[in-house]
A and B are shown apart, each in its own frame.
Chain A
Amino acid sequence: MQYSNPQLPEGINTSQEHPLKDFLILSAGVIGGLFAILTILILLTGYFSEKIPFEWESNFPVDKIIPFEQNADMPDYLRQVSSRVISQMDLPESMQIRVHYVNDDLVNAFATLGGHVFLFRGLLEKLQSEDELAMVIAHEAAHIKHRHPIMGASHGVVASIFMSIIGGSAGDSLTGMLLDTSGTAAVLRFSRDFEYESDEDATQVLLSLYGHAEGANRLFKLFSEELKGDVPFEFLSTHPITDNRIEQVREMTQSVSSSRTATLTPLPNDFITWLDSQREKHQQEKDSAKKSAQTE
């Protein structure tokens, strides 16, 4: 018997495939697959969570999250505009929306579980017409009408459970990051859909109250100034790019006759002075809190 070690050809125990191509196909597959599965999962979750009765939401402890004085400070004007807007919205019988005002510099407004809408003084100060105020209130009320808070919360819970099941097997921080990004993008897509839906409803309310939707345009212009240049791609943000929202309003109002000149209803002067006094009050409270912290 003759033993020898001949030169064996390469490529039997190894693969000749280019590793970069392998890597790109793998990552695209993993990200795409995860995105698709999660999207289907979220759709199912949304379908079922919408069926949760609205009354159950009222158990949500809102006052633990935002300490609001029970409408002590809310002026009649705000109450008036809110009820006018909400009456236009075709809410189901059992749904009750409560609008709260918070004396804080935060430029924001949001709707949360239980039918609560919060308006912050920071945003109210930036508004320049009643149309814009109506748009804000209508947009938030539309979120509640379409059950977006409970659906959004369910999406988040289901998505994070799913991601922790998958993410546990990823042994590497880069792989984990890819998975995280893909999961977040899937959830946020639905958040943006909610915003578009609310914008649509709110624009409809503006049209029926004022006959034109110029308030919406003004409001979005305000947003784009505040945001000082949106992120270039919206796939990782909760809200759509402001330009896209303006575009949707434009498509909706194309059918409305432009013969009526779009005049904005201004905010009453005593409301504006009231906002100023609120700001001073807030400033005083902050200063006295600082002083008492120093003397302690």
Chain B
Amino acid sequence: MELIILLTLLALGYGFGRYAEKSHYKSIIQREAELNSIPAIASRIPPHGNPYYDSHLVAGSVVVSVDYFKRTVANLRNLIGGRVTSYETLVDRARREAILRMKEQARNLNAELVFNIKLETASIHKGRKDSIGSVEVLAYGTALVPNN
């Protein structure tokens, strides 16, 4: 009986997870195209050019959760070893989403670019063995707003 419940959870996790992932990726790709005009630069040194800039801290953070199917596949991987591909898409989405949210903030400030961007990942609620975990990604940087 417990097996049936777990298999149902697995199927639900797989179904909803796939759907959420697909629609999230579509949204990410679309917004990346929109915000392409504001480059996000990892360099610590601001680019040369117009010296009249105001600078602001901008940050974007996102929390993405693992679904049951992904966790099960990851647990099997933990026994054997190798790429945990189920988590890779998760972290990829979270990272890109965080950068996009940071760029949103920058756009609201009419910034031209964001530099010195850094990414930090935190795992929320690692908890007991059976609990669902989630991943938080924070992206922050300095936005340069032209003041002339």
A residues within 8 Å of B by Cβ?
1, 3-7, 10, 13-15, 17, 19-20, 22-23, 26-27, 29-30, 166, 169-175, 177
Contact = CB atoms under 8 A, between A and B. Distances in A.
10 closest Cβ pairs, A-B complex: A15-B85, A26-B76, A172-B75, A3-B39, A174-B6, A175-B75, A13-B92, A14-B89, A171-B129, A5-B39
A22 B14 contact: no
B69 interface: yes
A166 B85 contact: no
Interface in B54-85: 69-73, 75-80, 83, 85
B36 interface: yes
B88 A19 contact: no
B129 A15 contact: no
Given A7-B33, A17-B85, A30 B79 contact: yes
B47 interface: yes
Contact of A23 (B39, B72, B92): B72
A175 B69 contact: no
Interface in B110-137: 113, 129-130
State which size class the interface on B falls in. 35 or more
Contacts of B70: 19
A170 B75 contact: yes
Given A13-B88, A172-B130, A173-B130, A30 B80 contact: yes
Contacts of A19: 14, 18, 69-70, 73, 85-86
Contacts of A30: 76, 79-80
Contact of B113 (A3, A17, A175): A3
Given A3-B39, A30-B80, A174-B9, 17 more contacts: A1-B47, A3-B41, A3-B113, A7-B32, A7-B33, A7-B36, A14-B88, A19-B14, A19-B70, A22-B73, A26-B77, A26-B80, A170-B78, A173-B6, A173-B130, A174-B72, A177-B6
Contacts of B91: 13
Main secondary structure of the interface of B (DSSP, over half): helix
A171 B75 contact: yes
Nearest to A19: B86
B130 A169 contact: no
Contacts, number: 84
12 contacts: A3-B39, A5-B36, A15-B85, A20-B14, A22-B86, A26-B76, A26-B77, A30-B79, A170-B75, A170-B78, A171-B130, A174-B72
B39 A170 contact: no
Contacts of B48: 1
Contacts of A15: 83, 85, 88-89
Contacts of B2: 173, 177
- Output the residue of A30, A169, A171 with the most chain B CB within 10 A: A171
A33 to B, nearest CB: 8
Contact of A175 (B25, B32, B47, B76): B76
B7 to A, nearest CB: 8
Contacts of B106: none
Contacts of B71: 172
Contacts of A23: 69, 72-73, 76
- Output the residue of A20, A22, A169 with the most chain B CB within 10 A: A22
Contacts of B76: 23, 26-27, 30, 175
Nearest to A33: B80
B98 interface: no
Contacts of B36: 4-7
Contacts of A20: 14
Contacts of A175: 72, 75-76, 79
B145 interface: no
Contacts of B7: 174
B20 interface: no
B39 A26 contact: no
